[in-house]
């Protein structure tokens, strides 16, 4: 399956910068996998049969939730593209129901970056692109937001 940006490039247009949703989308899955593993280890340490069964059942349920969150995070990252070309900014989300945002670089008035403390530590954040007569679009939780902003503002 080809990337969306490769399908829509105009003649003479080239991709200058690409980014994706940050791996923080996997955080619930990571925590759930750790809890499932801890419950599995706890079941091996338990001496009472009912406690072993309880820990194994809980580990199985938590592992199912972790699997769901893993697939959900992967699918979000797989179906989200954010690119800067020499002509425009392109952001696409979705697989069957697609949502796209495109803004010519000459219509970009300002690019704002919003990062939490954790976002600064892990290098992710929200980028808001303000356009001249084009409105405003916020791209949430992308990796390397400062590099993304620089790729838009540096021409």
Look at residues 1, 9, 18 and name the one whose alpha carbon lies nearest to residue 81: 18
Q: What is the pTM of this model?
A: 0.83
Residue-level pLDDT, tens digit, the chain, 155 residues? 688 999 999 999 999 999 989 999 999 999 999 999 999 999 998 888 898 899 999 999 999 999 999 999 999 999 999 999 999 999 999 988 999 999 999 999 999 999 999 999 999 999 999 998 768 999 999 999 999 999 999 86
Residue 45: C-alpha distances to residues 33, 35, 40, 50 (Å): 19, 15, 9, 13
Per residue in 52-69, pLDDT tens? 899 999 999 999 999 999
């Amino acid at each position: 399956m080809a990337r969306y940006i490769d399908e829509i490039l105009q003649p003479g247009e080239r991709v200058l910068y690409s980014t994706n949703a940050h791996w923080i989308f996997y955080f619930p899955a990571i925590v759930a996998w750790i809890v499932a593993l801890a419950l599995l280890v706890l079941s091996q340490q338990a001496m009472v049969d009912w406690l072993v069964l309880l820990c194994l059942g809980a580990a199985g349920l938590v592992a199912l939730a972790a699997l769901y969150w893993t697939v959900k995070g992967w699918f979000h990252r797989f179906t989200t593209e954010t690119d800067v070309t020499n002509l425009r900014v392109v952001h696409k989300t979705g697989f069957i129901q697609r949502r796209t945002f495109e803004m010519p670089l000459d219509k970009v008035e300002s690019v704002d970056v919003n990062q939490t403390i954790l976002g600064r530590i892990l290098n992710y954040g929200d980028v808001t692109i303000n356009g001249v007569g084009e409105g405003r679009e916020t791209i949430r939780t992308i990796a390397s937001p400062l590099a993304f902003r620089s790729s838009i503002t540096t021409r």
